[in-house]
Amino acid sequence: MANIRISEWRRLPISLAELCIDTTLRCGQSFRWKKLKTDEWTCALHGRIISLKQDSIHLHYRSILPASRSLGMPLSANISPLGEDEDDAESLLRHYLNLGPNLVALYEHWSSVDSNFKKRAPKFTGVRILKQDAWETLIGFICSSNNNIVRISQMVNNLCLHYGSLIGHIDGEPFHDFPTAEALAVPGLESHLRELGFGYRAAYIAKTARIVAKERPVAWLQSLCNHEQLEDSLGQEGLPAAGREGYRKAHEELLHLQGVGPKVADCVCLMGLGWGESVPIDTHVWQFAQRDYKFGKGKHKSLTKSTYDAVGDHFRELWGREAGWAHSVLFTADLKAFSERLAVKDKLKIEDIKLEEGSALTIGSKIVVKREYKPDVIEDELNDIKAANPRSQRAKRRKI
């Protein structure tokens, strides 16, 4: 009996303006995609291994399914073909990559109402908000507290290696499903995670796993999802300043979990529960809110709970129902990993500038001066603000 079944490469017609996987998969939404080859991204999703690559007009994908969940054999051994009727990878990908909304139309709308977005967005097209598993999103962003993308990815990978079901190997690299709440709600988890380098986040993960697995109803997280379709209207018509009731309820419920503050709750609402108006605010967002949107003065001089709410309300009013999508484009533009796209190159004649040794690169008769914007790492500065600070108490600012 074959141990692994693998499909042929298939393709979906989608332009880079509608989806750019090289940006979307490494902009801090999901932490489990691995680039094993130059042009190929791979991840374990719902009991299978999915590989993606892209050209200018197509997304190419293939899936690998084990004949037995207990076996994880190299792809070079015991492989049988996987028929299209056996595999629902296309529907899974359409859902996971959130391919329904017209992203080009959304970019055009945001550009029409926001000159700053219009200036920055052309270098960051194709950033989609993924529809990830809510539980995975929750744990991934608990790991994000005072952390950066590389370390978050390492932590999430360790969770999968030690507690997730093994699906198979690619080029010797093991791929595991993300562990369920039940798999993490086990004795000794906190101490083991501390040994693995999770620090104080170990206690948050252990306590949250117990709450979700043993104290909440079955499918509790799923009950908080947004089941509405993206409406034809791209503006904020009918959208309250603080977002829809379902979003506010989900956000409040999440704040009762261990290690979940406003920013983590907003990340889960946006990327795991589908609430497009959710605007997570960390140091990157606070930086560009000050730099480009006149925050950082007067009553919003520092990033307090009141300021957090005010920034989110401002962006919801500006960008509308899918404000979280627009926010993610600007967030991506602020990441160090993408700073090369923002690098400014000025070519000057050699006689027009006084050179000091080592101050510039000389190319022929010209020099090239390169200036790069290098923002700080991702941080969750608001992780400790809890639901005990309702929006009605905005006037009572509390520094983080």
Give the active site residues. Answer: 263
Region for 343 from its dihedrals, namely left if φ exceeds 0, alpha if ψ lies in -120 to 50, beta otherwise: beta
**Cβ proximity of 275 and 247 under 8 Å:** yes
Three-class DSSP category at 152: helix
Q: How many CB atoms lie within 10 A of CB 101?
A: 17
Q: Residue ranges of the alpha helices (H) in 99-235?
A: 103-113, 115-120, 134-142, 149-163, 181-184, 189-195, 201-210, 220-223
The alpha carbon dihedral of 301, 243, 389, 135 has a sign of negative
Among 136, 170, 171, which Cα is nearest to 155's?
136
The alpha carbon dihedral of 308, 29, 151, 143 has a sign of positive
Among 129, 125, 126, which Cα is nearest to 97's?
129
Residue 304 makes CB contacts below 8 A (sequence gap 6+) with 397, 398, 399, 400
**Cβ proximity of 71 and 3 under 8 Å:** yes
Among 275, 270, 268, 252, which Cα is nearest to 390's?
252
Q: What angle do CA 329, 331, 337 make, to 5 degrees?
A: 100
Q: Bridge partners of 98?
A: none
